[in-house]
Chains A and B, each alone.
Chain A
């Protein structure tokens, strides 16, 4: 035993065990998020459940089972299900949908009360623009020019025929609304701004009243022309909507007390499928379609459904902007600290301060960002360059630029520390070799030191990106929003709008998961978004790591 302790094997074992525990926890986390995230898009079967309430009344439920759990024995006793076996003693969370009719999306059903549970072949799931899913059986379909389809089969065929057409019209409406009318509105707004600027100059006495009136007449004319355009666009939308309203389906839904019939406009249906009779290939196609929707589409239903594309875009753009700011700053600061500053007490204090900066809670950085970047710098920019828009802020409010800079501040210590280490690791001999050939200090830094330190700098960048991409708290007060109507990058000049608010996956998780009353419906989305966030950070890091590996190979540099 003594021998064993002496040999240090125990220590090796301990290190191994601890490493194992760490790996286990990390892989457990990833597995949980991965599985839950992936399961989100699975087309669950629709159950037709008959059960009884306390008084023995027969009730119905029609929907997808989201989860189930064991009922504790005492609850079981209390409710009087003495006879129930352990296996049956579960309760099921059923998504019955039809929120607009029943009020609630989810319902718990006690296993022992279930009298019948069947899977109907023609059970239909409708994903809608609003009010969540609808579950039911298709009965009729009504289309323009008196077309009626009265049997389930006919209606379904008609649905498959008309639905793509209807959706494309819906998209057209949306396009007119968002893009065309948006552009017209922008033009009107900028004309008004121009006028406002002139008023401002008039007040300042830099413009003659007659000049002003002339300009005002001109602008008014332009504006009324544009308003005409706007009205025409509105007309087009109205007529399209009228046409769309003529497509409608009839659905038999199951309220607890019995069946009901409802009509649902075709235009509001995003997707319809019959999960109980899907073949494997259909399931896969469905799955792919959902994943694609998730990464490429805008969110709908208060972010609970649809895609997260704006959030992906916002996250990636923010991380890139942040790196663009943090890396040069950190590298320059580290260069000064390591190469130029006189070693001594002051430098030591500065170094300790920098290291500690990395440990400051991120919300504190957020507050600083809000106070300094948003109010001070942004407000200053507004007063300097956009006085005519005040009191409406342009840069004096949260936006992707300020959020990125705040995060850059937060991550710059990481870059500094990593760069300093990389610089310190460069052998003295290499520098001396450079000096001996008649290089100045700057030559040496530029041609030898910095290239050799690049892999280390990249390591710092990777760490900073990973840290920055996962931060949420400071963003919440510097420019992130639940739903951004405009992206920070679009087709209107100057293409990058860094003053705009943006969406972020981390905040999206928080918002979808915890800022809602409909937790059960959203929890899947939370996991999926978390998975996506992890994947994106992984991809960003992977890119940087490959780049670094390539550099190392190129120069045979030692690793840091």
Chain B
């Protein structure tokens, strides 16, 4: 029970009262309908129906192996790259089913950026990492690229640390810097939606705070979905929260409500740390 009160305090401190009102007016950006997913013979996701609001932060929580990453990867069709993945159901982004035959996953991924659980900078220079997406789009002009690289790095709160060493290899950065570099890299292509899979799992509290701050700024423009194991973080940064358990969506609603007054027993047990 102590943990619950602690969480309630955090919530009270961080959540802006006005948020909840606007939430009601926020349009759903992503609508998932009856989604089932199998890895070969084993089913990993069961009957997931959910709609995630535009320009808000949605958090996915749940014990390890419950399918959070799998579900996140459904949203930008990253699972296409894995053999043997099969799914049924619909995923609508801006009202269009992204699993429709006419949708090109390459174009889709340009609009739905992703930041991975393990940071994965390319073995290139810092500059080239950030410019990568724009180069794919065919941008060559140095001045334009320079500007985009700088803007993205500033947004990802990394500019000050790397501005003098843009041409050094990205793999020479610290773990936290690499993670922010991956964020900058994703921002550089200006997606609509940002999927973040435990973006701060490997970071120290200061870097984590920077990334959380960043999310507050980003949600003015982007729709953000974040997977996290850190309850405080979910409570601090998200507007809505979804709790997954064994491949099922157990409960979904406003973050304040999930954390203060969960309707399901499993949710309460997980949040209060009784399992997971």
Contact = CB atoms under 8 A, between A and B. Distances in A.
A447 interface: yes
A429 B106 contact: no
A430 interface: yes
Interface in A200-257: none
A555 B132 contact: no
Interface in A461-500: none
Contacts, number: 75
A556 B116 contact: no
Given A439-B106, A447-B132, A433 B169 contact: no
B172 A432 contact: no
Contacts of B133: 437-438
Given A433-B116, A438-B109, A439-B136, 11 more contacts: A432-B116, A433-B121, A434-B122, A436-B114, A436-B186, A437-B189, A438-B107, A438-B133, A439-B106, A555-B171, A557-B171
Interface in B119-157: 120-124, 132-133, 135-137
A452 B189 contact: no
A554 interface: yes
Interface residues of B, number: 29
- Chain A interface extent, by class: 20 to 34
25 contacts: A343-B83, A429-B118, A429-B120, A430-B120, A430-B122, A430-B123, A432-B78, A433-B120, A433-B185, A434-B132, A436-B113, A437-B109, A437-B110, A437-B132, A438-B110, A438-B133, A438-B189, A439-B132, A443-B136, A451-B124, A452-B122, A554-B169, A555-B124, A555-B171, A556-B169
B44 interface: no
Contact of B122 (A435, A438, A448): A448
Nearest to A552: B123
Interface string A413-455: 0000000000000010111111111111001000110011000
A interface SS class:
helix
B123 A451 contact: yes
A432 B81 contact: yes
Nearest to A448: B122
Contacts of A433: 116, 120-122, 182, 185
B171 A556 contact: yes
B116 A429 contact: yes
Given A432-B78, A432-B81, A556-B169, A437 B186 contact: yes
Interface string B100-111: 000000110110
B185 to A, nearest CB: 7
B220 to A, nearest CB: 22
Contact of B109 (A436, A451, A554, A557): A436
Nearest to B114: A436
Contacts of A440: 106
